[in-house]
Structure 1
Amino acid sequence: MQKKKWAIATGAIVVGALAIGAATWRYARYGGQINALGVDLRQPAAYVATPSLTALSRDLVKAPVLRELLTEDFVFYYEAHEDKLGLAGAIKRVAYEHETTFTDDLMALALDQPAEVALWADDRGAARHWALAMTRGALAKAIQGLGSIAAKDKQLTLVAEVPLTAFGLQSVPVYALSLSPRRTLAIASRGNRVVVLSDPGLLFDNERSPDPEASKVLAKLLSGDDGDQGLWRQHFGLAAPGTRHTLVAGGPLLALGYHRFMPALQALRVEVAPGGAGLRSWVKQGAAWPASPWAALPAQPAACTALPVDWAVARTVLAGGSGDASSALGEMVQSFDGPAAVCWYGKSQLHTPLLMAHAKGPAPSAATQEAFMQWWLPKGATWQAGDKAAGIKAPYGTQKQADASAYRAAFRRAGDWWLFSPDEALVAKAEEAIARRYPSIADTVGGASPVAVAAPAQIAELMKRETLAVLPREQGGMRQAAETQLLPRLADFGKLPAAQAVPQGQPDAQGWVALDWRPLSATTAVP
């Protein structure tokens, strides 16, 4: 039964890896505030609450489904991570050279207790910035005694005193601990509370002046009030941490920069029981999702997810410019309403998904469609109209014609649906499904209304082919590593059954609704 919940693995692995192994630059490399890049310490992109950071990777390896995909190498990687080893070495050196109250087991004490980790995306969209908050009496006391050391230590320095008097607290010293040329941590403590940031730039600007809004967050995290300490949990609408590992990815992170168009998708949450005894998952909805798109999509996708697009927002954004392109966008976007989806298929490629959206009213003119596609296409690509499909000649992509830099895409309306893919075969198959001449995903979900479906066998096939395609035999070392390490894991992954994620009941007061992972039925013949 537990195998049916295989798809939770993706969210757990991604968010768990982000929580444990984020890597950033040194403080000196920032040319100004990180907040200038859009980081708001009050609103994390992802969040982890764990009863033990040390146990997190070990429990992921033991969890259902994950234990079939991960090996002990996953645990060993984080046990021997350079940041962890650097921190342990720094603690031992400081203890030896300055005869402090630090002990060799201080780090083990810090990592084997409950903690909260928040993560933020950098300007490239990867969640590389992080902050750790915890209640550690012994560790906090040791940190509060660093003042005399920082004045004469090359690796440990006092950045500044951050004034918190406006928040009812005294100023707190913030120390920078350099672990390597690529990593400098910022550390602060008050009472029995400790906060560690992945870089001093999360709190200070280029002139080492505390950022006012970041200082407010630091004050709350160091506060003795449980409500203030829980500002990250409140952001995601979560209760106080329990005995399970809780991993959350916010909607903006999941939407890859397109969250404004999909505000209904607010977050995805996964919980891992102690010892890896079980997995549970939830999705947080900001509004009711539109009707299911599954009847319009060809059966047997590798992975497919509904996109809760807010077309009112899309109309405002896409039709707000000027010129011919804006006019075409304005006319095209009026056609869209209701559900949308994106799907990948095992016999296609990773960069050629099928995109679809529901339509209403008469189709825009051919000229409008052409202007829309010229806006959609990358620079250097040209539009070539066809009887059944519109073609794109672009300076990239796989060789599907005599011209190695060209491939055929299709953009069409079929009934009440707009269809687009760089692989015209997927659009043709979708047309067949809409006309009921080919099985659709709706034929396999048993009357349910899932938010996503996935087939491990198809995903494994797709990932294997794409991996080997970018690792030619000339790259012997990398290809051998992929063949010996990755491909066996993909083979195990491919043995898991196809599944669908079905919301259970109504969302709670915070918008969270539990997901039930059910098997997909076999594709039936369609008249």
Structure 2
Amino acid sequence: MKMSRKKIAILVAALLIVAGIVIQAVWRPFAHRKATNAGEVVLDIHHPDAVIDSEALARLPRDMLRVPLLHDVLTQDFVDYYESPNTRLSAEGALRRLAFEHQLDWRDELIHRVFDEPAHVLLWRSPDGRLGYWIMSMRRNGLAKLLQGLGNVAASDAQLSQVAKLSGDVPVYALKLAVGRTLLFATKDDRLVVLSAPGVLLDDKGGLLGDRADAVSDMLSSGHDDAARAYQLDAPGEAPKGHRLVVSANYLSFGYQAFFSGIEALRFDFSPNGSAAASWRTSALIEPGKLPQQWNSAALWRALPANAAACTSLPADCKEASALLGKVADGSDAAGAIGFRLTGPAAVCWYAKSTLVAPVFIARVKTQDKAQDAASIATLKTALDKTFGDVIGAYEVKAAKTDGDDTAYRRLPVTRREQGADVTVWQRPVSARSGTASSSKASFASQLSAERYFPVTLALAHGYLIFSPDARLVDDTLAVLDKRYPALADTLAPARLPRTILTLTPSSAAALIEREAGAALPADQEAVFRNASRAHLTPKLRALAHYPAVSLTLPHTLPGSTGWVPVEWSFDRAKGDAGSDNDSPQASADQPGTEGD
């Protein structure tokens, strides 16, 4: 039957309406009455991972570049990127659109001023590891005018809606910036609180999360939260001067705080003084009761090889680390007992001769009287022998079968050798494309599964336990202990040796990073990124390489209870340099960024 044009038009219109209903039901592009919510996000509202107090957040990136070393390494792109992030640009655009469409008296300078006012920001890590969740609170009389009439706007706007009410009937608004990107904010008097995602405050059904709603209400009423108590900070003033950044050690250590048990957080303070010289100061929140041997690292620096790209002392909780090792070794009692024989802080170092994935680790072994020590060392060797054999190694498809068992986990054998009365070395080759050794000259090359391998090595020598995936670094450390190779301590100021917690040699670090970047970007596979690396990364690394070695040092006397202590940044020159002295004030004064900067 032939249809008339009128019937065809009606049918097409009906199909479009049905399609629109289906799209709205599935995609919901016009569901602006409810904020986009992917569910409650996981965070501890009482203990943020980072805190920022700033006189003006927009000036923070530029003030960071007032440190000469950062100025030489970072580019203007860094400032441009963080001065105008996507969230800010989207929010500014949304506010301008609201002002235009609803005829609000919001001038551009008023909108701009909102983003450059004193701010207090709490941040938490998101699933991708970034500080992706945050709550920002601000106070400024100028906000009152900008926020007038929001209720009327929210009732009729597709991008702005009211989603909840806090105690005291304080409305919570959702500002949709893009698909899957929505900010929440609430206002009371002249205070404003902004949340990075609905899930920071709302549950899966859009209801308020009790403890977080209470925290936001407190911020709106008093401007206070639990961050000051969590990090033993002075409550931020009404108008903070400069910037204060606090970052938890748990976040900086990617959750491995068992290796940083005595450090709770790091703090960076910037005080404007009107001069070109930077005035950043660094502090650490220390819990002395958890610091092994008051974090004296002198013995470690005397055992590690010189010319390290980077070294850091780790105030590790050996008992907790031992429990972790026991889990890795499937509950082995031998693995669990190793940590109980270690003492003091440990250390990890990277060297330009090796790779980023193959540092060297070192820890000290507890000493006892001769009779007990001999028996204890024998027991420790047995535990190390079993644990190294159980934990280290990868499946080698070409490896020889053992004991005629076709189902056995095939790995290359562990070699153990005694190098004198006090030195025992274990080693096992492990195939890996990123290995530090080539298999071409190895006697066991036919059994390896890749063209390269890691000569994973463990040594017990002269009261130290040494481990590295690269045997060369273990050999160099053994040479230091035998007085055949210069120690890292030879390049550090003797007076600062016990309290030095980190040392960095920019020339070695730059060489290591440049080579690793080249290896990660093969010319035949990553030509575009390799060219970008040569154009942008290499010049900055070479600028970094001109700086002398820098070290971080704690005060000689630590507090008796948990508290903040200053961390000093010192530039060191190698001994023998003409006209230099590591302990000379002038040697530090003529270097940029010193005086705790």
TM-score, normalised to structure 1, is 0.85
Partner residue of 1:84?
Answer: 88
Contact 1:439 1:523 in 2 (8 A): no
Shift of 1:235: 2.0
Which residue among 218, 234, 241 is the counterpart of 1:239? 234
Aligned match of 1:433 in 477, 480, 483? 480
Q: CA RMSD in A?
A: 2.6
In structure 2, distance between residues paired with 1:316 and 1:73: 45
Distance in 1 between residues matched to 2:131 and 2:432, nearest whole Å? 31
Q: Do residues 311 (structure 1) and 314 (structure 2) align?
A: no
Deviation at 1:312, TM superposition (A): 3.4
Q: Any conservation in 2 of the 1:446–1:520 contact (CA below 8 Å)?
A: yes
Distance 1:327 1:505, change over 3 A: closer
The residue aligned with 1:154 is 158
- 1:375 Cα offset (Å): 5.6
- For the residue of structure 1 that corresponds to 2:65, the secondary structure is helix
- 295-304 or 77-86: bigger deviation: 77-86
The unaligned stretches of length 5 or more in structure 2 are 1-33, 367-375, 397-410, 418-424, 440-449, 577-597
CA distance in 2, matches of 1:29, 1:175: 13
Residue deviations 1:126-164 (CA, integer Å, cap 9, x gap): 3221221111233255336322222222211222113x3
Aligned residue number for residue 516 of structure 1: 568
The aligned amino acid for 1:385 is V
- Alignment partner of 2:357: what SS? coil
Show the counterpart of 1:13. Answer: none
Q: Secondary structure at the match of 1:57?
A: helix
Counterpart for residue 445 of structure 1: 492
* CA displacement 1:19-57 (0-9 Å, x = unmatched): xxxxxxx97463x3212xxx1122111121111112111
Map 1:99-114 to 2 at 5 A: 99-114=103-118
- The question of whether the paired residues in 2 share the 8 Å contact of 1:502 and 1:516 is answered with yes
What whole-Å deviation, never above 9, does each CA across 1:408-455 have from its counterpart, x for those lacking one?
Answer: 111111121111111111111111112222111222222212011111
The residue aligned with 2:97 is 93
- The reply to whether residue 181 of structure 1 matches residue 179 of structure 2 is yes
Aligned to 2:430: 393
Question: 1:399, 1:305 → 2: CA distance?
Answer: 22
Deviations 1:328-373 (A, max 9, x none): 2222222222110111111211111111122224154665324423
Deviations 1:288-321 (A, max 9, x none): 44321211211111111110012233345555x6
Judge which range, 51-60 or 77-86, deviates more.
Answer: 77-86
Residue 128 of structure 1: aligned partner: 132
Deviation at 1:258, TM superposition (A): 0.9
Closer, same or farther: CA 326–249 of 1 in aligned 2, 3 Å: same
Q: How many residues align?
A: 485
State the match for 1:334 in structure 2: 340
The structure whose RCO (Cα within 8 Å, separation 6+) is larger is 1
The answer for the alignment partner of 2:207 in structure 1 is: 209
Q: Give the 5 Å matches for 1:116-515.
A: 116-140=120-144, 142-143=146-147, 145-162=149-166, 164=167, 170-224=168-222, 229-241=224-236, 242-274=240-272, 277-287=278-288, 288=291, 289-292=294-297, 293-316=300-323, 318-319=325-326, 325-360=331-366, 361-364=376-379, 368-373=383-388, 376-377=391-392, 380=395, 382=411, 384-386=413-415, 387=417, 388-398=425-435, 400-402=437-439, 403-404=450-451, 406-447=453-494, 448=496, 449=498, 450-474=500-524, 475-507=526-558, 511-515=563-567
Identity %: 32
> Is the CA contact 1:332–1:372 (under 8 Å) kept in the aligned structure 2?
no
Counterpart Cα distance in 1 of 2:481 and 2:431: 29
The answer as to whether partners of 1:352 and 1:422 remain within 8 angstroms in 2 is: yes
Unaligned runs of 5+ in 1: 1-25, 165-169
State how far apart, in whole Å, the 1-side matches of 2:356 and 2:486 are: 22
* Aligned counterpart, 2:579: none
Contact 1:352 1:423 in 2 (8 A): yes
CA contact (8 A) 1:301 1:455 kept: yes
Measure the CA separation in 1 of the matches of 2:558 and 2:217. Answer: 32
Aligned with 1:362: secondary structure?
helix
Which is further off, 436-445 or 140-149?
Answer: 140-149
- Deviations 1:189-241 (CA, angstroms, capped at 9, x unpaired): 112111111111111111111111211221221123x6xx1532332222244
Contact 1:297 1:441 in 2 (8 A): yes
Preserved contact between residue 144 and residue 189 of structure 1 (Cα < 8 Å): no
- 2:75 aligns with 71
Tell me how far apart the structure 2 counterparts of residues 417 and 468 of structure 1 sit (CA, whole Å).
35
Q: How far apart, in 1, do the equivalents of 2:504 and 2:136 lie?
A: 34
Residue 511 of structure 1: CA displacement? 1.5
Secondary structure in structure 2 of the residue aligned to 1:62: coil
The answer to whether the Cα contact below 8 Å between 1:64 and 1:278 also exists between their aligned partners in 2 is: no
Conserved in 1, the CA contact under 8 Å of 2:432 and 2:454? no
Alpha-carbon spacing, 1:40–1:389, altered in 2? closer, same or farther (3 Å): same
| Secondary structure class of the residue paired with 1:43 | coil
SS state at 2:216 partner: helix
Q: Does the 8 Å contact 2:393/2:412 carry over to 1?
A: no
> Does the 8 A contact of 2:358 with 2:469 survive in 1?
yes
Deviation at 1:519, TM superposition (A): 2.5
* AA of the residue aligned to 2:511: E
TM-score, reference length from structure 2:
0.76
Residue aligned with 2:453, SS = coil
Task: State which drifts further: 338-347 or 504-513.
Answer: 504-513
| In 2, Cα distance between equivalents of 1:178 and 1:378 | 51
Moved more, 395-404 or 511-520: 395-404
Which whole-Å CA distance do the structure 2 matches of 1:378 and 1:34 have between them? Answer: 38
The superposition leaves residues 257-285 of structure 1 with CA deviations (integer Å, 9 ceiling, x where unpaired) of 11144320111112233266322111221
